[in-house]
Amino acid sequence: MTTKLNVYVADCQTQQAIPCADEGIKAGFPSPAQGYMAESIDLNKELVRHPATTFYARVVGDSMRDAGIGDGDLLVVDKGLEPHDGDVVVAFLDGEFTLKRIRMDAGSQVLWLVPENEAYTPIRVDASNEFVIWGVVTYSIRRQSRRTK
C-alpha cells in the first residue's frame, strides 16, 4: 500500500472570491469574445458540499497515477458520502491509510481496493481485515506549473 496521505481539516469559515471566466475557457481554438472576467467564485463553496464531513489530503505515492492522481496532489474528501463501486476512496486497512478505487463483488463479502498503476496489485478485503472507508474523493487538485513562486 505505497500511497500515503497527509490529512488536513477543511476550514470553510474563510472566504476568498477569485475572478472566474464564467463563459469558460476554450481548450480548442481561442475565442476573441473572452476578454473579461465577469464573476468570481469561492473555492470553498465550489469544492466543499458538506463542510462538517470534508477534509483535504495530500497524496504521497504513485499507486493512483493512471487515474490522474499523483504524488503531491491535493484531494477533497467527503466522509459523509456513501461509497459506490468504482469510487476513489480513502480507506483505513489493517492500521494504514491508503488511496484506491473500490470494486465490490456483488453477492459476496469481498471488496477490492484497486490501484491505478499496473506496478501495484489489487488488495482483497474481507471480514478478516480491519477496514473502514474514511471518505470518498470528490476532487483532485494538481499543480500544473513547476514554478514555486
Three-state secondary-structure class, residue 75? strand
Strand positions, DSSP E, the chain:
4-9, 17-20, 39-42, 54-60, 74-78, 88-93, 96-104, 111-114, 123-125, 131-141
Our answer to whether residue 149 is catalytic in this structure is: no
Compute φ and ψ for 44, nearest 5 degrees.
-60, -45
**Considering Cα of 19, then 11, then 97, then 133, what sign does the dihedral take?**
negative
The catalytically annotated residue of 100, 128, 145, 149 is: 100
Amino acid occupying residue 147: R
The catalytically annotated residue of 63, 128, 145, 149 is: 63
As annotated, the active-site residues are 63, 100
